[in-house]
Amino acid sequence: MNKQGAESLSKRTTWEKAILVAVKTGATKEAEFNSSLQELAGLAEAAGAKVVATLTQARDKPHAATYIGKGKLQELEHLLAEKEPELLIFDSELSPTQLRKLEDKLQIKIVDRTLLILDIFGQRARSREGLLQVELASLEYRLPRLTGIGKEMSRLGAGIGTRGAGEQKLELDRRHIRSRIREIKRQMEKLEKTRELHKKQRHRAGYQVISLVGYTNAGKSSLFNALCQVAHSSGQPQVEANRRLFQTLDTTTRKIKLDSHYEVLITDTVGFIQNLPHHLVAAFRSTLEEAVAADLLLHVVDLADPAYLDKIKVVEGVLEELGAEKERIMPVFNKVDLLAGISPIQAPPNYVSARTGQGIEELLGQIKNRLEAIS
């Protein structure tokens, strides 16, 4: 584990108190708004925050200068005095102007949805490429907001919202940061060439590749482990899997057997999320594009999630943006064991439970049939 990750984990015993702030615009459906707010609370917890209050406002669009209106801003000031949090978390990406105005007015550390996700990625990344991708996304996000964030950093020190930039100090001048961005991109180009070489070696060896994709926390890593327990030579789980959002950032690839003589490669990938920051999509684009270039994509869906249909649409939108071919996408509905009234006998063949192992053998057969059909 890198030093940065160890420090982040050690701080998880000390939670930062946070207030969530969100605007429901006229175009947003109530269920969609509530889902986004619930997800924000999950992201805050994943980053190490304890939500002590939530403030929402219905507006046609966020206020151009302060995100929320004057009356709500006063209400927020009273809430800050009552709850005494360490930070505010906004459920949208704040503009540089909004961030500066809010910091000047409220005198508290402010984190928007984008910076919150960057912070989580900063905690989770382990590989050299993952660390570079997160640092690049973080610096490109912070560069136009440098004045406000730099002031907050020097006054309040470490915590949520400070981990994504790696070792770089935000007080560094813009020229130095732009130089660092160019250096990261140069290093990533080298890593991309190495990955392309490995890809060619796999093709020469004749291996087909399967990628697990899906919404974060759909159970991709658990399914990866379940498949490896049945079809990998070790018979053991291969990656860490739990209910934390964005548990997987760095891709993991293993060789599995679909039958006694049919071997393929299977890859676990980073999860998707609604409003995934474009800085992260750009930084991880080469990794994501390699994932969707696989021979078969298993789109893992949490069937027990009440909002699973909306999350399917989010993932399908990202896959379409990345150029994934629809005929190479195979939906796999996970967590069927959490649904009442569906017995293993009644369940369709693509209904599985990574936790209990239900449907895993059948899924391996489906994978084999699909790969044979497209090869």
Residue 122 annotated as part of some ligand binding site: no
Q: What's the half-sphere exposure (Cβ side, CA atoms, 13 Å) at 278?
A: 3
Residues 21 and 89: their CA atoms lie apart, in Å, by: 6
Mapped onto helix, strand or coil, the DSSP state of residue 354 is coil
Residue 250 annotated as part of some ligand binding site: yes
Residue 12 annotated as part of some ligand binding site: no
Strand 252-259 relative to strand 262-268, pairing: antiparallel
DSSP string, 172-212: S-HHHHHHHHHHHHHHHHHHHHHHHHHHHHHHHHT--EEEE
Residue 217 annotated as part of some ligand binding site: yes
Residue 246 annotated as part of some ligand binding site: yes
- What's CA 15's distance to the chain center, in Å? 21
Residue 220 annotated as part of some ligand binding site: yes
DSSP string, 281-312: HHHTHHHHHHHHTSSEEEEEEETT-TTHHHHH
Residues 351 and 362: their CA atoms lie apart, in Å, by: 9
Residue 281 annotated as part of some ligand binding site: no
Encoded amino acid at 256, one letter: I
Residue 215 annotated as part of some ligand binding site: yes
Residue 353 annotated as part of some ligand binding site: yes
Residue 194 annotated as part of some ligand binding site: no
Residue 193 annotated as part of some ligand binding site: no
Residue 216 annotated as part of some ligand binding site: yes
User: Could you tell me which residues come within 8 angstroms of residue 288 by beta carbon, excluding any fewer than 6 positions away?
Assistant: 269, 270, 281, 318, 322
Residue 28 annotated as part of some ligand binding site: no
Residue 271 annotated as part of some ligand binding site: yes
Tokens standing for residue 158: 């470490």
Residue 42 annotated as part of some ligand binding site: no
Residue 72 annotated as part of some ligand binding site: no
Residue 317 annotated as part of some ligand binding site: no
Encoded amino acid at 152, one letter: E
Residue written as token pair 């995100």: 67
Tokens standing for residue 174: 């813009």
Residue 307 annotated as part of some ligand binding site: no
Residue 157 annotated as part of some ligand binding site: no
8 A C-beta contact, residue 143 and residue 156: no
335 torsion bin: left (phi>0), alpha (psi -120 to 50), beta (else)? left
Residue 190 annotated as part of some ligand binding site: no
Residue 218 annotated as part of some ligand binding site: yes
**Residue 247 CB neighbour total at 10 angstroms:** 21
For residues 169, 134, 142, 50, the Cα torsion angle rounded to the nearest 10 degrees is -90
Residue 52 annotated as part of some ligand binding site: no
Q: Which residues are annotated as a binding site?
A: 214-221, 246-250, 268-271, 334-337, 353-355
Q: Which residues are annotated as a binding site for Mg(2+)?
A: 221, 248
Q: Which residues are annotated as a binding site for GTP?
A: 214-221, 246-250, 268-271, 334-337, 353-355
